[in-house]
Amino acid sequence: MTRNLDENQHKLLYISDSNLKPRDFYRELLFQLGSSPGYLRIDAKRQFNQLILDYFEKRRITPVVVIDEAHLLSHQMLQEIRFLTQF
């Protein structure tokens, strides 16, 4: 599936750990985007949202988040992903 993504139009963000807490989730995504995450979850979340908008609006690149073993995510993480997909 990911082999078909055009690297000029998509940025693949791969999460292999389904046991992450929300703060660690955002930190990992920010690291993959080449950014140093803030310590607090709310700071990392804001930073991630801004960076995603930058990728999409300025660079015209669509970030694609792939979570391995997503069926094992906690309820808390599922809620966080739900919030993440609403912007």
**Per-residue pLDDT reduced to its tens digit, 23-62:** 999 999 999 999 998 889 899 999 999 999 999 999 999 9
Longest alpha-carbon distance in the chain: 35
Which run of H or of E encompasses 81? helix 75-84
Range of the domain at 43: 2-84
Query: How many domains, in total, are found in the chain?
Result: 1
Three-state SS at 34: coil
Across all residues in the chain, what is the average pLDDT? 91
Global pTM reads 0.86
Cα–Cα dist 3/5, whole Å: 6
Under a CB-based contact definition with an 8 Å cutoff, are residues 44 and 26 in contact?
yes
Residue with the bigger pLDDT between 83 and 13: it is 13
Tokens linked to 44: 């990392």
Cα–Cα dist 55/24, whole Å: 21
